[in-house]
């Protein structure tokens, strides 16, 4: 994922964070592929993956669109190095998504998943994306609107991550107002829908336990909740992740928004 000096990225870019991104990409790849196939422009010459991380979503974007040029925009030097080594056929650039200008213009398709939730000025990033599309080009966004689980440990995790992101000026469930954010762009046609995705509780608990481990170095989390609670929650999530019996899945409500540039935005 991408962040700026003013946008605190709560999930890190160390080894554990990279492992988490691998699992995250696997968990959401099917729903993302379906979204891209349904709403990509008919012809895509240049496609941008905004906040490309390890390059997994960038590769998916290339496979689905068959674009001649697919570029991942990412700020983490560590992730850029991993992505370039893993996918040498793709291009990755160090780009601040809150910069006023992108290095590419007249883009056919810009895609982003779980990026705006980490930005303190998501409206600015969206406006910049729209401005860099060609006429008829599309911006495709996926962000969470809700996470639901009947498992207490998962409920606790969702409460904590929401409070932490609020502290840093971010929104866990930015998908709830994603349509309104994109609609602010001038001369653009916007459509959106909410997609329900169910994922195994074990899969989500494994992802969340990795985040808890990263949060232990976060001053706000240590001061607000203390290491004993974080240790206990991490252990509970790891236990859920290791269970083999069928558990009630986690329901993810995903906002999927399409903005098409018409005229001058």
pLDDT tens for each residue of 83-140: 999 999 999 999 998 888 999 999 999 999 999 999 999 999 999 999 999 999 999 9
pLDDT at 263: 65
What is the Cα–Cα distance from 2 to 230, expressed in whole angstroms? 25
pLDDT at 71: 98
Give how far Cα 133 sits from Cα of 106, 110, 259, Å.
5, 8, 10
Domains recognised in the chain with CATH numbers: 15-261 (3.40.50.150)
pLDDT at 8: 67
Is-contact 99 121, C-beta < 8 A?
no
pLDDT at 6: 53
Average pLDDT over residues 36-46: 96
Q: What are phi and psi of 254, to 5 degrees?
A: -110, 125
Query: In sequence order, which ranges of the chain are alpha helices (DSSP H)?
Result: 15-39, 56-65, 77-86, 122-131, 152-167, 178-183, 201-215, 219-242
pLDDT at position 46 over 50: yes
Write the CB contacts of 228 (distance below 8 Å, at least 6 apart in sequence).
Answer: none
């Amino acid at each position: 994922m991408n962040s700026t000096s003013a946008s605190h990225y709560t999930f890190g870019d160390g080894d554990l964070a990279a492992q988490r991104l691998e699992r995250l990409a696997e968990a959401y790849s099917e729903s993302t592929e379906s979204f891209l196939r349904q709403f990509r422009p008919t012809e895509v010459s240049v496609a941008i993956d905004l906040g490309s991380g390890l390059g997994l979503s960038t590769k998916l974007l290339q496979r689905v669109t068959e674009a001649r040029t697919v570029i991942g925009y990412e700020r983490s030097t560590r992730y850029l190095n991993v992505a370039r080594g893993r996918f040498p056929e793709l291009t990755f650039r160090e780009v601040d998504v809150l910069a006023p200008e992108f290095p590419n213009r007249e883009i056919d398709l810009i895609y982003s998943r779980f990026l705006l939730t980490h930005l303190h000025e998501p409206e600015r990033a969206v406006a910049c994306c729209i401005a860099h599309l060609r006429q008829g080009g599309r911006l495709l966004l996926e962000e969470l609107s809700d996470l639901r689980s009947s498992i207490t440990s998962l409920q606790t995790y969702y409460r904590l991550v929401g409070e932490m992101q609020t502290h840093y000026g971010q929104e866990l469930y930015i998908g709830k107002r994603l349509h309104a954010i994109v609609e602010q762009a001038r001369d653009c046609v916007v459509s959106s829908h909410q997609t329900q995705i169910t994922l195994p509780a074990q899969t989500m608990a494994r992802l969340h336990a990795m985040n808890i481990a990263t949060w232990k170095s976060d001053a706000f989390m240590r001061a607000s909740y203390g290491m004993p609670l974080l240790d206990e929650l991490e252990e509970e999530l790891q236990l859920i992740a290791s269970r083999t019996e069928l558990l009630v899945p986690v329901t993810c409500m995903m906002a999927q928004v399409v903005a098409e540039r018409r005229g001058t935005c």
